[in-house]
């Protein structure tokens, strides 16, 4: 056995704690999904630390949420830039200053340039209010109701140059009731967004969810097109919803 086995210096050694994984969140408005992430972080359930919140809208309430949580709140108004590319160039600089492991879009109402997407490809995620690939784009709840679908929901996906077209990581389903309104459906979908987004962020930070040239993987296994899916019943149970409706 080595003579170093009884060395007091080694016996007194305490390993340094691993530095927390770093997250930057981009918002444009109220920031309810941001709040879900902040709450998860407060319960040590995010797998990392939100180091900055950036908004293109100076009056976004999400900035207040960030400040109240002691998070760096950055305003970068897009109207002060002459082009989308110029804005995204400035946004890249702001984000990189915070050295993030993951960039999270939480209601960031900007179409991103290919330059931006490529810079953060594989560590840039978004949440969309539909079961992708259905209802890409806007007005998802109204379109779903107009089509008379039985199921709707939300999807977390990696961001690629195709709008709402990147590999899906996680979905949560909501059953559409016969008397459903656009507002009631929106509220149900929002609740599911707040449920699954912190989970997806945690798994990305832990390296369980990864981007690959073929799509996305979970623990090294390729995911199907719909990613991992939480059923209506499972989501309703987590959210303590009335299943009798």
Residues belonging to the active site: 128
- Partners of residue 209 on adjacent β-strands: 218
Note if the bond before 69 is cis, omega within 30 degrees: no
Q: In what order do the strands lie in the sheet with 221-222?
A: 209-212, 215-218, 221-222
Which of 162, 154, 69 has its CA nearest to residue 106?
154
CB 158 within 8 A of CB 169: yes
**Six-digit token pair at 117?**
């997407």
Element (H, E) at 211: strand 209-212
């Amino acid at each position: 056995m080595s003579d170093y086995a009884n060395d007091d210096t080694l016996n007194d050694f305490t390993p340094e704690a691993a530095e927390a994984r770093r997250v930057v969140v981009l918002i444009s408005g109220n920031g309810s999904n941001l709040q879900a992430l902040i709450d998860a972080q407060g319960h040590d359930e995010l797998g990392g630390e939100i180091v900055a919140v950036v908004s293109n809208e100076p009056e976004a309430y999400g900035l207040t949420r960030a400040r109240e949580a002691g998070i760096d709140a950055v305003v970068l108004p897009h109207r002060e830039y002459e082009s989308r590319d110029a804005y995204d160039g400035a946004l890249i600089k702001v984000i990189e200053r915070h050295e993030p492991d993951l960039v999270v879009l939480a209601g960031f109402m900007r179409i991103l340039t290919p330059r931006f997407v490529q810079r953060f490809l594989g560590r840039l995620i978004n949440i969309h209010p539909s079961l992708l690939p259905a209802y890409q784009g806007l007005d998802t709840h109204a379109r779903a109701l107009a089509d008379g679908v039985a199921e709707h929901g939300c999807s977390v996906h990696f961001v690629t140059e195709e709008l709402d077209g990147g590999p899906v990581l996680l979905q949560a389903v909501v059953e559409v009731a016969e008397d459903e309104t656009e507002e009631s459906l929106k509220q149900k979908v929002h609740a599911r967004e707040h449920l699954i987004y912190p989970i997806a962020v945690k798994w990305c930070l832990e390296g369980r969810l990864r981007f690959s040239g073929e799509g996305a993987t979970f623990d090294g296994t390729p995911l199907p097109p719909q990613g991992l899916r939480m059923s209506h019943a499972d989501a309703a149970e987590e959210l303590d919803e009335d299943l009798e409706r």
